[in-house]
Structure 1
Amino acid sequence: MSIRERRRAETRNTIQRQAIRLFVDRGYDATTVNDVAVAVGISAMTVYRHFATKEDLVLYDEFDQLAATTITELPADEPLVVRIARTLAATYDQAMADREFHLARLRLMISTPALRARHLDSQYATQEALVTALCAGSEDSALEFQARAAASACLGVLHIAVLRWAAEDGRPDLRRLFGEAFTATFGHTF
């Protein structure tokens, strides 16, 4: 990462953290992009250079790229649902490095109707990243269909685990909850 890219990432991180703090303190609907800009000490235009929409202030992350990279590093001979579940678990392990921030983001996504709708778009983007990585270089439409079904099912299972984790204030181990939900759904562990 170049110095310029690093500074851009640091600025994006600072903006997002201030936005999450304000949304938690004041409420998502009561906080404007201008409020976020003032809290950071930048212009609203600078906020929009980093985040195209107010929703992106909460939803933005780099997990899709991480998931796409991670899944290509797993053994290809494992069942698709196992590879996808391991990838999602590893991706969420990264997120748990900053548990409180991630918990605040999830609570906002769950409690704010506009964010719930956009979160579904985000899940679709994650599904597409996984399918693209799994099917890279293949013209096999059956593989694409299977990858899409497996990714969608695993994301649904993860979503249920994440909802429970957030409802219990992040106290349970998220990986364990995901494993329990996965086993309940697929009849085996990952």
Structure 2
Amino acid sequence: MRLFREQGYKATTVEQIAEAAEISYSTFFRYFSGKEDVLTRDNYDPLLIRAFEEQPSGLSPLQALKNAMVSEIARMSEDELTTMRERNQLVIAIPELWSATVNGMTQMMQLIAEMVANRVGRNSDDLTIRTLAGAVVGVNISVMLHYAENPDADFAGLLEEALGKLENGLGL
């Protein structure tokens, strides 16, 4: 993030990222497909899965997802939240990063569908399961955009509020 902040995304090279991380150029590519992957890769999936699986069985799938997501965000430090906001701001501003992020959101939708399907004993390709997963991903996108534009906002609070609105039928 420091290099992107100082030089801009386009001017920052993989070589510079590898040097700053004190790794070789080839080692960089063992972990990342390119510099866009540094900003768009989601490392929180295992945490989300664990938190979701720990939710009480009496909760609806949406309640369990909301609790799991909010609890993991609430555990993030101020530095992690600042980095996430800065990363989101870059992603929104740079078309190739936005495209990679949308692709990642599709993968997130599939992950959520699989988690929910396992919880309720249905198939992940069930239309209702996919619709719920898509709605949750949509909420994440709206919160991501809002947080990037409102840096003083409480990300965990926004996520909880937005998922609560979804849970309550949005009330439009």
Question: TM-score band, normalised by the shorter chain?
Answer: 0.7 to 0.9
Worse-superposed segment, 180-189 or 29-38: 180-189
**TM-superposition CA deviations, 1:148-179 (whole Å, max 9, x none):** 2112111211221221112112x111122223
User: Does 157-166 or 75-84 show the bigger shift?
Assistant: 75-84
User: In 2 relative to 1, CA 84–146 (structure 1 residues): closer, same or farther, beyond 3 Å?
Assistant: farther
The alignment partner of 2:11 has SS state of coil
The aligned amino acid for 2:82 is E
How high is the sequence identity, in percent, across the aligned residues? Answer: 24
Q: How many residues align?
A: 169
Of residues 9, 12, 18 in structure 2, which corresponds to 1:37? 18
Distance 1:142 1:30 in 2: 41
* AA in 1 matched with 2:127: F
Unaligned runs of 5+ in 2: none
What letter matches 1:134 in structure 2? V
Distance 1:137 1:102, change over 3 A: closer
The DSSP-based 3-state class of the residue aligned with 1:29 is coil
Which residue number corresponds to residue 100 of structure 2? 118
Q: Which amino acid aligns with 1:27?
A: G
Contact 1:34 1:44 in 2 (8 A): yes
Conserved 8 A contact 2:116-2:124: no
Partner of 2:147: 165
The question of 1:83 aligning with 2:64 is answered: yes
1:92 to 73, 76, 89: 73
Determine the C-alpha separation between the residues in 1 that align with 2:41 and 2:127: 27
2:42 is paired with a residue of what secondary structure?
coil
Whether the aligned pair in 1 keeps the contact of 2:48 and 2:72 (CA below 8 Å) is yes
What is the deviation of 1:37? 1.9
Q: Identify which range, 129-138 or 65-74, moves more after superposition.
A: 129-138
Q: 1:106 aligns with which of 64, 88, 91?
A: 88
RMSD: 2.5
Segments of 5+ residues of structure 1 without an aligned counterpart are: 1-19
1:2-81 map, 5 Å:
20-81=1-62
Task: State yes or no: 1:151 paired with 2:133.
Answer: yes
Q: Normalising by structure 2, what TM-score?
A: 0.83
